[in-house]
Each structure stands twice: as C-alpha cells, then as structure tokens.
Amino acid sequence: MNESAFTASPFVSPRRPLTADDAEIRAALADAALQPLLPALAHLTGDLSLLRPHLRPDPLLVNQPQAGFDAEQQAEIRALALETLTAFRDGGSRPAPPPSDDDLLAIMSFALGDPGDTNGRPLADYLPLLAEEMAHGGVDPRAPDWTRDAVAPGRDFTVLVVGAGMSGILAAHRCDQAGLDWIVVDENDDVGGTWYQNTYPGCRVDNPNFTYSYSFAQRHDWPYHYSPQPVLLDYFRACADAWGIRDRVRYRTSVTAMAWDASTGQWVVDTSGPDGPGRLRVHAVISAVGQLNRPHIPDIAGLDTFTGPCFHSARWRHEVDLTGRRVAVIGTGASAVQFVPEIAPVCADLTVFQRTPPWLAPTEDYHDPVEPGMQWLLEHVPGYAEWNRFCIFWRMGDGALEAVRVDPAYRGCPDAVSDLNAFTRDLLTEYLRAAFADRPDLLEVVVPRYPVGAKRVVRDNGVWPAALKRDDVHLVTTPIDRVVPAGVVDADGRLHACDVLILATGFQASRFLAPMRVHGIDGVELHEAWAGEPRAHLGISVPGFPNLFLLYGPNTNIVLNGSIIYFSECGTRHILALLRRVLESGAAGISVRREVHDRFNEAVDAENARMAWGVSDVNSWYKNDSGRVSQNWPFTLLEYWERTRGANPDDYELHPAAS
C-alpha cells in the first residue's frame, strides 16, 4: 500500500498522514466494526503479532453483532488498536510493504476465524478472489488488460449496451477501457436502472453498501449501512459521470428488435426513441436490461374496473397523495415490506393482501447511519475500509450457501431441507414469535410454511411487524377473488373498500430480454428458441447468437450469497475476454458451442434441484412458468469467478468474417 493508494475510485481521496490526537482515535474506535480492525492493522503495519489467537472471531458467530466478540475481547481489541494507531501516527504514518501471499492468507484466515474449508474448498482457493474484491490500493484487476489498438489495430468495432443501470454503466466503462467504440441506449431519462425506476417510499438497498458497490469504485463515506434509493442513484450517476458515460447515453430509447447479419458480421438493431424509429449497425450487443425491470401486473379479474388510482410499486405515482386515504396493497415481498411501514402512518386505513409470508432476516442496523467514529476510521485508517468490505463479502457470501443446500438424508421438519436449514428456520421463527408475541392472530399467519431460502428472505429491523400490528392496518390472508370499482373482494365475498390500490406484485423476471425480438443465425428468434425456457452459458451466451452477451441473464441471480454487482463484474470481464478473442482472431463473431451450453445447463438444473428454492413448491420469481429455476445461480461465488475469469477457447466457436 503506498501514499497514492485508493485514488482509482472516484469517491476516495488520497490518504493523508494520520494527525488525530489519542482522544479522537479512542472515540472513533468506540464505533468501530471490530472484525476487520486487527486484520487491517496487521496489514497496515506488517505486525502479524496483532493477530492474537484469543482475539480471533468464532466463525460460527461472525454474523452476530461485533462478530460475537464478548465485552472483554472488544475492550482488548480497541486498546490494541489504539496503541497501534498512535504508534503508526507517531512513526510518520508509513505503511509497511504489502504482505506476502502467505501473510495475506494468514490475515484473511484470522479475520474470518479460520473457517477451514467452505463448500469443500480451502480458504487458499478463495485468496485471489478475495484480494480482487477488496481491491486493495484502489487497483482494478478486473479491468481489461488489452486494448483494441493493441490486438486489432484499425479494426472498426462498436458495442451496443442496452440499459444504463448498474450493469450497463459497468459494461460501457469496460468497453471504454478496452478502447472499443460503444453506444448505450436506455428507455429512461437518466442512468440508474432499478435505482432510477423504483422510487417508492422506503426504497433502499438490502445488501450492505460496503459490498453493494463496484469493487474498483468503493466509497468509504456511505451515509448508511444500507442506503436509501436516492443515495444509490447518486452513486451510479456519479460513476457514470466519472467514466464519461452519462452524457453519452441515448435516453428514452428502447431496442425493439435486432438481427444478426452474417454477411457483414453486424447486429442490425431497431430502436424507438424520442425522434421516432431508428436503426443501428453494431458488431456486438451487451444486454444489461436486468431481470426485475418489467412490472408483473397480476391477472386478477376486474383489476381495470377499479375507479381510484392503481399503480405498481416500481412505477410509484408520487402525485397521488395517500394522506387520509384508504389504501390496499397486494403483495408482501421485498418491495411491500419496505414501503408499507412508510405509508401506514399517513393512510387513513391500510389493507395488505398476503398470499405467502416472507421470512424476515433480523437486521438491527438496517436503517442506521454509519456511526461517526466508523466513518472516521473508514476514511482515515488505510486499508480498514477494504478489510471491512472483505469481512462483509465473506459473511454475505459462500458461507451462507450451506444453510440452503438440501441434505437428502434429512428427515426432520417438512418445511426445512437440512439440520442447518431447520436451525436457521428456528432462529427466524423465534424472531417472528417475539415480534408478534402480543398478536397471536397475526403470528398464526406470518410464519412461513416453506424452507428458508425457497423465497427471498427480507430484511427487517422491526418496522414490518410494527406496521402490521397497527390498529389501522389489516392483514388479509384470504385469497383475492376480484377487484371491483370500490375495492378488492376476497374469496369469502368480503369487500375491502379502498381509494388507492398499490400492486407490490413483483416483476416478469423470467421474461428475459422482453419485449425485444432477437434474431440470430438463420433468423432464429431468441424467445422462440427458448420456448419459455431461457438458458444461457454462464448466463451470458446463447448458441446461435454470435456476439450477443447477457448480463444478469438466466441463472445468474443470487439468493442470499452476495451482491449482484459482483456477478456483473465477473460477467463483464468474461464478455471482454470473448470480445478480445473476436478481435485477435479476425473473426466476425463468437458464440458458445451448443454442447457446452447444454452441459452447463444440465449441471445448473441438477444443482438447483439440490437447493431449498429448487425442491420447494412455494411461489417464487425464481422459477418460470414450467417450474424450472431459470433465475438462480446454485453454485458458489468462487465458481462463477473461476469460470468467468477468462474464456476457454474450446467452449466457443468463431464465426468467420464475410469474405
């Protein structure tokens, strides 16, 4: 780590020598997240004796507050940190040379409590991935290490990126770094994708921000552990500004259709924009349209007869004043759980229709600002922010998979899939029991009857139970029969009158790339080829569709292990490796071999069948209409990283340039 460290991120200022007095440092340490503290200081000073065995976290407790350290351990860690930081300051704030790989592994292992093998892999296998994720020293190891000028000087090559959300901004940035020409179109007025479209009250990220951010554009001054939507939107805008993308996006422009023209090695892309229809000719297309962007409007009889305002949570109508109105909400997924507590206090009366209750993950700091002392440490102690990200990445990551993997020998609770899954279920049930202890009528209907992990687990810091327990909030679990002009009628024939109807009914997640029409080799249309079963190799490539690459494509959604930004970073790196191959080879295009694609998808299906979401028959957006899990990645994060780091030439075929 050197003095110029951390300058690659547009959000992090270069380090300055530590000048704070002892009292200031002591005060900051009172707010510190302790798990990353000694590892960061060992890295900073090179003094591995700081890693004292009795101050190592218990790997089973790292998800507890302060990683499960008891009061005595906490005091000792803080005292040791104070001594180390004041000595570092008094010695001129000179970081030690970077640790050797062995030392780095020792520090990482200590930080995680020496977890041993995870999903059958030793920690050493994770070392390069974890080092990359930390992006120590502000480096960007996932950036392309080649340019078009170097590998194919003078070759004309333009990439179209469809969508300017989190993945599209990243894809355009990577193309730019490789010196490719690129065009980005987006149907919205600005960048941000999901963070632009979802503006409902209470919308916030449910992954810790310190990992829900690009590895190479970390921000040390997140105001909240889980920031609200406007903060996220600002972050993505700032990234797009810093990388020269935001001004160049063609806004209010959608792709309607595209076709591969083998005679020119180009995609001919039809668009619809502010000036009417348009046509682009590009050499490759990266779809970055997301999975959760097309609202799912439920097929409920009479929905269009409702006389008051009716809107979807992702198309919030802010001009509709809910004050003093009777409001009905359909759905109790992640979106509803965020906005219901916000609107309940202003509505005269709120009726929530629940079909399936969500599991709640107790998250005490869900709405909390990052403590001032913690902020100070993140900004002033070199490496602390990166080690903090590292610890969160691990806690949120592959370690969590074990709890949702099916144990075929398990014969316990029918709504669990293994002993560990049942243990997790008991913990979460206990949370619900405590939260609804004073409302046995609600407790009876809020405890899910499906395994933890079969549906998305939703974070809660107590506000969802509190909202449901309000006198003016009514939870209805009787199925909906129909909507009438005055409200919603349930299957018992009871009318729930309302003035405003809000659909928190999720998205058309398995309709990948809809409504675009995409014609590949020989005019085959992508959705017709899929026939309702979207599949892609690594979620990215489809046989017969050269130079078409999908980000957040089929089977790349993660259920509980990590942040989707990680997947986009891995996927984009793979796409750039494929583009490099096209350019180096002089070919027109590249597509995945069918047998490779099929083999991969068989493995995905087999593994999904061993996961809680695969065996459960509960409703979820993880499955398509046929019941296949078309969304989720069932393997480890490590495996996605390993498989996308490069591009195995044997897996792909090159399409020659037209003569």
Residues of this chain that interact with ligand NAP (CB under 6 A) are 204-206, 292, 298, 300, 313, 330-336, 338, 353, 355-356, 456, 480, 504-507, 619, 621
Cβ-based neighbours of 540, under 8 Å, separated by 6 or more:
549, 550, 551, 553, 571, 574, 575, 644
629 and 614 in contact (C-beta within 8 Å)? yes
Per-residue DSSP letter, 455: S
Q: Which is nearer to ligand NAP, 146 or 212 (CB)?
A: 212
Q: Which is nearer to ligand NAP, 356 or 375 (CB)?
A: 356
Q: Which is nearer to ligand NAP, 292 or 570 (CB)?
A: 292
**Least distance to ligand NAP from the beta carbon of 184, Å?**
23
Per-residue DSSP letter, 627: S
Q: Which is nearer to ligand NAP, 279 or 315 (CB)?
A: 315
Q: Which is nearer to ligand NAP, 359 or 384 (CB)?
A: 359
**Least distance to ligand NAP from the beta carbon of 456, Å?**
4
Tell me how far CA of residue 32 lies from CA of 66, 391, 579, in angstroms: 9, 13, 44
Q: Which residues pair with 286 in a beta bridge?
A: 161, 549
**Least distance to ligand NAP from the beta carbon of 478, Å?**
11
**Least distance to ligand NAP from the beta carbon of 305, Å?**
16
Tell me how far CA of residue 337 lies from CA of 381, 563, 568, in angstroms: 37, 20, 26
**Least distance to ligand NAP from the beta carbon of 363, Å?**
12
String of DSSP letters for 374-408: HHHHHHHSTTHHHHHHHHHHHHHTGGGGGGGB--T
Q: Which is nearer to ligand NAP, 52 or 315 (CB)?
A: 315
**Least distance to ligand NAP from the beta carbon of 300, Å?**
5
The answer to whether the Cα torsion of 374, 375, 380, 384 is positive or negative is positive
**Least distance to ligand NAP from the beta carbon of 509, Å?**
8
Residue identified by tokens 């190479």 is 216
User: What is the phi-psi region of residue 15: left when phi exceeds 0, alpha when psi lies from -120 to 50, beta otherwise?
Assistant: beta
**Least distance to ligand NAP from the beta carbon of 581, Å?**
33
Residue type, 268: V
Q: Which residues pair with 623 in a beta bridge?
A: 629
User: What is the phi-psi region of residue 635: left when phi exceeds 0, alpha when psi lies from -120 to 50, beta otherwise?
Assistant: beta
Q: Which is nearer to ligand NAP, 109 or 293 (CB)?
A: 293
Residue 309: count of CB within 10 angstroms of its CB: 16
Residue 145: count of CB within 10 angstroms of its CB: 11
Q: Which is nearer to ligand NAP, 109 or 563 (CB)?
A: 563
**Least distance to ligand NAP from the beta carbon of 618, Å?**
7
Give SS3 for 520.
Answer: coil
Q: Which is nearer to ligand NAP, 182 or 236 (CB)?
A: 236
